[in-house]
Amino acid sequence: MIPRKVYLRNNLTSRKMPHRIQHPGQLFVALLTFAIWIVTFWGAQASAQENHAVAGLQIATPTDQAQEPGASGPPITITLQDALQRAEKYSPQFQAAVTAVKLAREDRVQARAAMLPSVSYTTQYLNTQGNGISPVGRFVTNDGVHVYRAWGVVHESMPASFFFSAGPRSAAYAQALAQANEEIARRGLAVTVTNAYYALALAQRQYATAQQSLENARRFLKISRELEQGGEVAHADVIRFELQFNQQQQALENAEVAMSTARLDLAVLLFPDLNQNFTIVDDLDVPPVLPTFSEVQMMARNNNPQIRAALTAYRQSRLNVSVARAAFYPSLTLDLDYGIEANAFALYSINNTREGVRQPNLGYFATYAIDLPIWDWGARLSKLHQAEDQRNLARVNLSFAQRQLLSQLYSSYNEAQAAWKQLDTLHNSVSLAARNLQLVTMQYKAGETAALQVLDAENSLSQARDAYAAGQVRYRSALATLQTLTGSF
């Protein structure tokens, strides 16, 4: 004898049903075929786009410069600020940090979405072989030969960490950490670009100094020959000035090679190709003023990415400890399903036990589940110990980062201050060396001094000019290093 409940369910028929589909099996096959076609079409489109993108990639060569302004025609003029902006655009390391921030931002969006209930739709058709005796299937779970499911599902999972927003908070910490790393990468790149920029400026000044030294050597060689013809100096002076002239020619060639190398080093950072058709603005003679140490210390306290990264990592480690503790508490899961699960893919069915009565197929059911962890052989406790160890390590890293910042701040500021103070001395040395060369030249023409003194004065002037330019570059480099700790000022 068939129980009444099972009998009622198995006697649902599809005859004379309003709002029903005549051939639900064919409809399901059609929908499945359409879905497969859509997935295949999308896959083909994605593959075609990928192949097109790969086919469009080309290896840049020194001659492939048509897309960059200044590659052909007059050279473009680049300031230090322009160089920094260009380097950020073409630096793979910095762009990796920028991409990490974008990914972290999307992770935060996903973490927020994970806190909200998910809504999905599922359709199933269960075609079961009948038993030939009653209108039920041969499988216990199916109460008819044809079973149709069309559900809208609302799902919400609430572990213990759900109630203090562990996911969004962790994603926010990860985003803050990525932003701090981006700022660290930006400041590190600024140091690299600044050094390369002023290395080219220094090379250009050294090349100009070498040109002037060569011109001075040529002039003194001419003077010595004229004095020799007049019998005022010996031929040994002419030989000394010829040697000096040859040395200055070699120095000029070496300075030209160094300038070309410095230009290539900077071009690699600023252009997508090896474009060397550019000039830089030499602003070494107008150095920015060094702030006081109290101002620098305040800027480092408020705007240091290393400290911000270490503090964010420590806060994230504390949150991980809370998440590990939450694993010991129960978790709640809620599922709400609304739709059809019947022997006919229709809104209503006819109940044969009551002639002419339509039975609705639409309905809902909800599932509430509470999971209580009891025993896992110490796995959760081990994860808690790991999280606590990582928190302790993050605390140590934060303390060390604070001490290291103070040490680096003193060191970088002392270097910048020393370079700043030496600028006046170096500039004064250039003036004195130039004046000394003028006096020695007059004395040599009057026959009151030896050629060695002239050579020594000439070398002193060249060295003083190179030292002054190197001192200016040293100050700019020291400022760039100091600004990695404080930010721009």
Question: For 68-111, how does the pLDDT look when each residue is reduced to its tens digit (9 = 90+)?
Answer: 555 567 899 999 999 999 999 999 999 999 999 999 999 999 99
Return d(Cα 343, Cα 346) in angstroms, integer: 9
Does residue 371 or residue 358 have the better pLDDT?
A: 371
Helices 166-229 & 235-270, crossing angle to 10 degrees?
A: 160
Residue 284, pLDDT score: 94
pLDDT surpasses 70 at 441:
yes
First and final C-alpha spacing in the chain: 92
Q: Is-contact 118 154, C-beta < 8 A?
A: yes
pLDDT surpasses 90 at 250:
yes
State the Rg of the chain over Cα: 41
Residue 11 banded pLDDT, cuts 50, 70, 90:
very low
Least confident of 200-214, 236-250, 323-337, 437-451: 437-451
Residue 61, pLDDT score: 44
DSSP 360: E
The fraction of the chain above a pLDDT of 90, given in percent, is 65
Residue 288 banded pLDDT, cuts 50, 70, 90:
very high
The fraction of the chain above a pLDDT of 70, given in percent, is 81
Question: In terms of Cα–Cα distance, which of 191, 170, 184 is closest to 96?
Answer: 184
Residue 230 banded pLDDT, cuts 50, 70, 90:
confident
C-alpha 347, offset from chain centre: 55
Residue 448, pLDDT score: 84
For CA atoms 337, 343, 345, 348, the dihedral sign is negative
Residue 70, pLDDT score: 52
Residue 64, pLDDT score: 42
Residue 234, pLDDT score: 87
What's the longest Cα–Cα distance across the chain?
A: 144
Return d(Cα 92, Cα 457) in angstroms, integer: 48
Residue 319, pLDDT score: 96
Residue 355, pLDDT score: 67
And the tokens for 127?
A: 């075609």
Compute φ and ψ for 124, nearest 5 degrees: -135, 145
Place of tokens 């499945």: 32
DSSP 161: G
Question: In terms of Cα–Cα distance, which of 41, 44, 22, 21 is closest to 33?
Answer: 41
Domain 77-115+165-323+396-489, architecture per CATH = Up-down Bundle (1.20)
pLDDT surpasses 60 at 26:
no
Residue 349 banded pLDDT, cuts 50, 70, 90:
confident
Q: Is-contact 124 148, C-beta < 8 A?
A: yes
372 in helix, strand or coil? Answer: coil
Helices 379-445 & 293-302, crossing angle to 10 degrees?
A: 150
- Write out pLDDT tens, residues 303-329: 999 999 999 999 999 999 999 999 999
Return d(Cα 340, Cα 145) in angstroms, integer: 16
- Mean pLDDT value of segment 220-246: 90
Residue 12, pLDDT score: 39
Place of tokens 């004395």: 443
Q: Where in the chain is the domain with CATH 1.20.1600.10?
A: 77-115+165-323+396-489
User: Among 45-54, 123-132, 145-154, 461-470, which range has the highest average pLDDT?
Assistant: 461-470
- Mean pLDDT value of segment 371-379: 92
pLDDT surpasses 70 at 58:
no
